A and B are shown apart, each in its own frame.
Chain A
Amino acid sequence: MTTLTEIENPAAAGPAAPRRGRRFDARRVRWWRGGVLGVLAVYFVVPLAATFWFTVYDARNHQFSLSPYGQIFSASGFGPSVWMTFQVALLTIVILYVLLVPAMIAAHLHLPRLKPVLESLAMVPLVLSPVALVVGVDTVLGWGTDQDPGTPLFQLSVDLRNASLPLILPIVYVLIALPFAYRALEAGLRAVDLRTLVEASRGLGASWPVTIWRAVLPNLRSGLLSGAILTLALVFGEYTISSILQFLPFSVWVVQDGQGATSGQLAPAVSLLSLLLSWAVLFLVSFLGGRRAVGRINRSS
């Protein structure tokens, strides 16, 4: 609601207050704003544009070609590593939401005092060094394999490190993705009137699972979707943890095998493609979702 009044107020106040000082002020502010955003836009766009140029232009032969983007798909090892990373990402998203969605809904509805705890918990992975975390994980797995073969703990450690689908990766990635997923979900929860929604559904006789599945989740769609996309992008780009644990998901494959094949053009091409794709999808989702949410507020007021 606050955003609505904010958006409307300056527009309404602008023409209604034709004092000279104020108008000058506004223009100066706008100029300053444009300057800052312009400089930052240069800083953020130039490396991406340069990377694109680097991938399509062959300086030695003075030739343009989009071939690095085509070669991504035919390079050896591409298929298995992408498939493995995709499975890991999917598992991460499922575990993340199974844990996070009920907890956040419950905290919003019944345990408001727990919200700061959850929020701080979700911030921890942001400042915790992934190197330290993975070293700890490696040690714990090492304790498992120190047991006698055949014992459950030994078997568990071995299964977690299975090279074709290492289950330890989603377990760790859930932690790494927590801050971003939490933020996306929190934004989604804030935009809907959760209490009314749940009370209406419960009042009409729906059970808790039905309420969550058919009343709450559809309203959180855009938050859930953007959290999932961020997690997907994160898993596809993650290098530290998987390389130290010596697995070969997509990101590690790009660095190891991709570089030799095409004079170093493949790796930047992949990075650029994944960044732009995830941004484009995220933008579309938030744009469509945002418009629906605004429409809903207007109708209710």
Chain B
Amino acid sequence: MIRFGKKLGAWGAVLPLLGYCAIALGLPIWALLWEGLHATDPVTQQTSVSLSNLTASWHGIYLTGLLDSLRLSLLSAVISAILGLVAAYAIAQSRGRILKQAILTASGVLANFGGIPLAFCFIATIGTGGVFQSWIQHVWPSFQLGTFSGIEVVYPYFLLPLMVLTTLPALDGLRTQWKEASANLGGSAWQYWRHVGGPLLLPSALGGFVLCFGSAFAAYATAQALTSGSVPLVTMQINAVLSGNVIANQNNLGMALAVNTIVICGLMMAVYLPLRKRSAKWLES
């Protein structure tokens, strides 16, 4: 009876959070699905269930935007994941506590530094009139901050810290004893990474990669400020459609585009969660 009461009390403490998320997260998503799956007939003004918005969001410029977004996020996530993993390893190995704390806290700040301020920093650095603009023109003549490659240079600035934050716990959990055990049994460094370290790290490394991909895909403000809409990413298209910049009265198309991003976000989570579970299994032991 006492145990039961305890469990009940614990649920009472957790339920407000779950309820909040269900309302604050669930209602908007429900609204998007609802509006995205309804279309208003231009002649009769009748609203009915239809797939026309969703189909439209998979064709023409919207398909290009979606593919561009995916390509951009994939590329920046690969770069950030590889460099971030190496950086996290270097940090995990370093013994200076102050350095480690400084890098960790900096990662925490930088990982949510995306958005307008980040764009300002890079515009001031290598944008028009920026401090290093002439230098970058010299080294990489075709480089323009307001293009695909420009975004590619900027995105790792907040993705890399995110990767460090997600993989550092796993790297910190790799115990020296395991390495020593492997060495005592005659294993080389390669064999250690192939059979011990690698398999242990893989889930959290892949999880970090998926998070990087997702947050690159979701980013809006940085790309908007850098390119002023010249690179058609799906998040920018959503805003453009909804604010009536392209065609008036296309609200439901914008909703359908937003639904697409949510579906992709859902896929990301579906990949991430099993990975997270695997890495948690031994990290918490």
Whether B10 contacts A109 by the Cβ 8 Å rule is yes
In the assembled complex, the Cα of A25 lies from the Cα of B235 at a distance in Å of 48
Whether B11 contacts A111 by the Cβ 8 Å rule is yes
Whether B35 contacts A139 by the Cβ 8 Å rule is yes
Whether B28 contacts A133 by the Cβ 8 Å rule is yes
In the assembled complex, the Cα of A3 lies from the Cα of B232 at a distance in Å of 46
Smallest Cβ distance from B82 to chain A, in angstroms? 11
Of residues 182 through 232 on chain B, the ones whose CB sits less than 8 Å from some CB of chain A are 210-211, 214-215, 217-221, 225
Smallest Cβ distance from A157 to chain B, in angstroms? 12
* Residues of chain A within 8 A of B105, CB atoms compared: 226, 279, 282-283, 286
Interface status of B56 (Cβ within 8 A of chain A): no
In the assembled complex, the Cα of A137 lies from the Cα of B25 at a distance in Å of 9
Which one of B113, B116, B117, B130 lies within 8 Å of A50 (CB-CB)? Answer: B130
In the assembled complex, the Cα of A106 lies from the Cα of B125 at a distance in Å of 47
* Residues of chain B within 8 A of A278, CB atoms compared: 109
Smallest Cβ distance from B61 to chain A, in angstroms? 17
Using C-beta atoms within 8 Å of the partner chain, give the interface range for chain A. Answer: 35 or more
Interface status of B140 (Cβ within 8 A of chain A): no
Interface status of A200 (Cβ within 8 A of chain B): no
* A118-B14, A121-B21, A174-B20 known; A131 vs B120 contact (CB < 8 Å): no
Which one of B20, B220, B268, B280 lies within 8 Å of A130 (CB-CB)? Answer: B220
Whether A120 contacts B273 by the Cβ 8 Å rule is yes
In the assembled complex, the Cα of A107 lies from the Cα of B261 at a distance in Å of 31
Closest residue of chain A to B84 (Cβ to Cβ) is: A40
Chain B facing A: main interface SS: helix
Smallest Cβ distance from A52 to chain B, in angstroms? 9
Find the residue from B7, B10, B129 having the highest chain A CB count within 10 A.
B10
Whether B32 contacts A54 by the Cβ 8 Å rule is no
Closest residue of chain A to B164 (Cβ to Cβ) is: A40
Fill in one digit per residue for A1-24: 1 if any B CB lies within 8 Å of its CB, else 0.
011011101110100000000000
Closest residue of chain B to A270 (Cβ to Cβ) is: B117
Interface status of A297 (Cβ within 8 A of chain B): no
* A111-B14, A132-B32, A230-B112 known; A127 vs B221 contact (CB < 8 Å): no
Whether A286 contacts B104 by the Cβ 8 Å rule is yes
Whether A99 contacts B20 by the Cβ 8 Å rule is yes
Fill in one digit per residue for B35-72: 1 if any A CB lies within 8 Å of its CB, else 0.
10000000000000000000000000000000000000
* Residues of chain B within 8 A of A11, CB atoms compared: 95
Interface status of A166 (Cβ within 8 A of chain B): no
Q: Which of A70-78, A81-89, A147-155, A237-245 contacts its partner?
A: A237-245
* Residues of chain A within 8 A of B116, CB atoms compared: 237, 239, 251, 254-255, 267, 271
Interface status of B132 (Cβ within 8 A of chain A): yes
Fill in one digit per residue for A54-73: 1 if any B CB lies within 8 Å of its CB, else 0.
11000100000000000000
Whether A275 contacts B109 by the Cβ 8 Å rule is yes
* Residues of chain A within 8 A of B17, CB atoms compared: 99-100, 103, 118, 121
Fill in one digit per residue for B88-119: 1 if any A CB lies within 8 Å of its CB, else 0.
00110111011001101110111111011110
Whether B217 contacts A129 by the Cβ 8 Å rule is yes
* A132-B258, A175-B21 known; A240 vs B220 contact (CB < 8 Å): yes
* Residues of chain A within 8 A of B111, CB atoms compared: 180
Smallest Cβ distance from B49 to chain A, in angstroms? 16
Interface status of B74 (Cβ within 8 A of chain A): no
Interface status of A213 (Cβ within 8 A of chain B): no
Whether B262 contacts A123 by the Cβ 8 Å rule is no
In the assembled complex, the Cα of A114 lies from the Cα of B268 at a distance in Å of 21
Interface status of B27 (Cβ within 8 A of chain A): yes
Smallest Cβ distance from B35 to chain A, in angstroms? 6
Whether B112 contacts A180 by the Cβ 8 Å rule is yes
Which one of B160, B173, B268 lies within 8 Å of A40 (CB-CB)? Answer: B160
**Chain A residues in contact with chain B, CB under 8 A?**
2-3, 5-7, 9-11, 13, 29, 32-33, 36-37, 40, 43-44, 46-48, 50-51, 53-55, 59, 98-100, 102-103, 105-107, 109-111, 114, 116, 118-121, 123-133, 135-137, 139-140, 143, 171-172, 174-175, 180, 183-184, 208, 226, 230, 233-234, 237-240, 244, 251, 254-255, 267-268, 270-272, 274-275, 278-279, 282-283, 286-287, 290
> Can you list 6 contacts pairing A with B, beta carbon distance less than 8 Å?
A47-B122, A98-B16, A106-B12, A180-B112, A233-B109, A237-B116
